Amino acid sequence: MSASIVGEPAIGRLVYTRDEVLESGAYEAPLFAAGVRCHGGFEADGRYRSPRTIHRAPAVQAWQAQLLREGNALLEIPRALMPPQYPSVEQSTLLLENGVRDPIVRTLTIISIVEGFGALIRDVKVPELSALVVEPIEGTALAHLAGGLFEAHARDESGWKDEGGHKQMWEAARDLALDKPKIPGDVLMRLMGRNAGRRRSERPFPQIDETLERMLAMMAQVLVVEIFAEGTFDWGYRLLSNPRVSAAPEAAGAMIDHIRTDETPHVEYLRTALSEVRARTLRTVDGRTIAGRRVVDGLLHGILRDTTRNRRSDQRDDVRENLAAAMQVAKNPAALLEAFDALEVGWAAPGRTGFEPEGDVTAAS
Ligand SMILES: [Fe+2]
Ligand SMILES: [Fe+2]
C-alpha cells in the first residue's frame, strides 16, 4: 500500500538532532499546575501545545509517511482489548457523592506514580541497531530512539529540572478536584508488591541480541500501557470534570486534557519504531536472521494476552481490598455497597490479541 494517491506527496525531513527532538519552542504563556510550573504551554490563541513537539511531531509524521510509502503497515493495537477502568465512572461518582474518597484518591495517586515511572524510559539501553538490523535504518524513528525520543518521553512523564511533567499534573488534577485530599501512605508499597510477582524470567527470543530484545520488550510494554491509559484518562476526565463531585471541574478537566494531548506523541513514536522493526529483518546471535515481524508480534501478543487477562481483576481486587472499610464513612455503608455492586459491568478479555504467531489456531486457550 502506498501513501501516495495524488502523485508522491513530499515526506518531511527524516533526520533530526537530539536537541531538535527535545526542543519545545517558545510559548505565549506557561502551564501551571497547582502552583507548579509544568511543561508545555499555550499559544497566542489559547491553545495548549505539548512540550518537545515542534520537531518531534512532524518527525514522527514523516517517519510514518516513509513507512507507508515503502509499502509497510503501521501497527495498530485494537482498542477492544482495553479493559475498562474499575471502578467505573458511575461507580466512582456514587462513591464521591457519598463522601467515600479513599478508593478514588488511591486510584488517582497510582496514576501519578505510574506516570513518574516513565522516567525509566531514559535508562533503556539502545544497542548498535545498524549492526543488528539487516536493512538500513537511517531516517527512521528507530534511529532516533537514543537521539532524543526516549529522553523526551521520560521528561514528559516525570518532569524535567524545575518543570513538572505528568506526575505533577495528575497530582494537581487530583488535588484540585478533591480539594487536597490526604494521601494514604501505603499506595506505593502496594503497587510495588503487586508488580513484583509478575516478572517474566524466560526470554521469548533468546536467538536475538539480549539488549535488543529487552529494548523491544520494553517498548511493546510501554506502548500497551500508553494505549490502555486512554481508558483511564477518559475515566479521570469524566469524573473530575463533573461539577457534582469535583471542586474544580474546569481546571481539573483541562489538566487531564493537556496530559492526554501529550500522550499522542508517545503512542505514535513507539508504534512507528516497532512497525519499522516489523518491516525489517533482525540478525540472530548465531549468524542467521529472523523476521522483525515475528519478534515484535510475539512480544506484543504475550504482553496483550497477560494484560487483558490480568489488569481488570488486579484493579478490581486492589480496590475491593479496602472498599468495605472505606465505605464506613458513608451514612449507610451496606446500602452503598449494594448500589455500587448493582452498577458493576462485567468484562471478559477477547479471545485473540490479533498478534498471534502465524499458524497458531489455539491462541484463545
Ligand atoms: Fe504520561
Ligand atoms: Fe506517556
Q: How confident is the model at residue 1 (pLDDT cuts 50, 70, 90)?
A: very low
- List pLDDT tens digits, range 54-76: 999 999 999 999 999 999 999 99
- How far is ligand 2, taken at its centre, from the CA of residue 4, in Å? 31
Looking at residue 41, the DSSP 8-state letter turns out to be E
- How far is ligand 2, taken at its centre, from the CA of residue 226, in Å? 6
Supply the mean pLDDT for the chain: 92
- How far is ligand 1, taken at its centre, from the CA of residue 112, in Å? 9
- Distance CA(135)–CA(146), nearest Å, equals 19
**Ligand found nearest the CA of 256:** 1
Looking at residue 139, the DSSP 8-state letter turns out to be T
Q: How confident is the model at residue 200 (pLDDT cuts 50, 70, 90)?
A: low
- List pLDDT tens digits, range 305-333: 999 998 899 889 989 998 999 999 999 99
Residue 274 above 90 pLDDT?
A: yes
CA proximity to 212, closest of 138, 294, 128, 148: 128
User: What phi and psi, each to the nearest 5 degrees, are found at residue 328?
Assistant: -60, -20
More confident residue, 91 or 6: 91
Q: Which residues contact 296 (CB under 8 A, 6 or more apart)?
A: 75, 216, 220, 274, 275, 277, 278
- How far is ligand 1, taken at its centre, from the CA of residue 327, in Å? 30
CA proximity to 299, closest of 58, 77, 28, 60: 77
- 332 half-sphere exposure, CB direction, 13 A CA radius: 5
Reduced to 3 states, what is the DSSP secondary structure of residue 281?
strand
Average pLDDT of the residues in 83-104:
96
b/e string for 163-199 if b means 16 or more Cβ within 10 A?
bbbbbbbbbbbbbbbbeebebeeebeeebeeeeeeee
**Ligand found nearest the CA of 116:** 1
As beta bridge partners, residue 180 has none
Cβ atoms < 10 Å from Cβ of 8: 9
Q: How confident is the model at residue 359 (pLDDT cuts 50, 70, 90)?
A: low
- How far is ligand 1, taken at its centre, from the CA of residue 223, in Å? 11
Q: What is the pLDDT of residue 2?
A: 44
What pTM does this model have? 0.92
Q: Which residues contact 35 (CB under 8 A, 6 or more apart)?
A: none
Q: Which residues contact 45 (CB under 8 A, 6 or more apart)?
A: none
Give how far Cα 50 sits from Cα of 20, 54, 152, 289, Å.
15, 9, 11, 40
Q: Which residues contact 69 (CB under 8 A, 6 or more apart)?
A: 2, 3, 4, 8, 11
Q: What is the pLDDT of residue 198?
A: 62
Q: What is the pLDDT of residue 105?
A: 96
**Ligand found nearest the CA of 236:** 1
**Ligand found nearest the CA of 114:** 1
- How far is ligand 2, taken at its centre, from the CA of residue 26, in Å? 22
- How far is ligand 1, taken at its centre, from the CA of residue 289, in Å? 35
Strand pairing report for 281-283 and 29-33:
unpaired
Cβ atoms < 10 Å from Cβ of 131: 9
- Distance CA(276)–CA(135), nearest Å, equals 10
Does residue 298 contact residue 357 with C-beta atoms inside 8 Å? yes
Retrieve residue 363's grid coordinates. 491462541
Give how far Cα 218 sits from Cα of 44, 171, 214, 215, 223, Å.
38, 26, 6, 5, 8
Strand pairing report for 48-49 and 281-283:
unpaired
- How far is ligand 2, taken at its centre, from the CA of residue 253, in Å? 18
Most confident of 198-212, 283-297, 343-357: 283-297
- How far is ligand 1, taken at its centre, from the CA of residue 168, in Å? 10
- List pLDDT tens digits, range 20-57: 999 999 999 999 988 889 999 999 999 999 999 999 99
- Distance CA(350)–CA(305), nearest Å, equals 9
Q: Please, where are the H alpha helices in 36-86?
A: 56-69
- How far is ligand 1, taken at its centre, from the CA of residue 281, in Å? 31
**Ligand found nearest the CA of 225:** 2
- How far is ligand 2, taken at its centre, from the CA of residue 266, in Å? 5
- List pLDDT tens digits, range 225-273: 999 999 999 999 999 999 999 999 999 999 999 999 999 999 999 999 9
CA proximity to 82, closest of 308, 319, 271, 314: 308
- Distance CA(38)–CA(165), nearest Å, equals 6
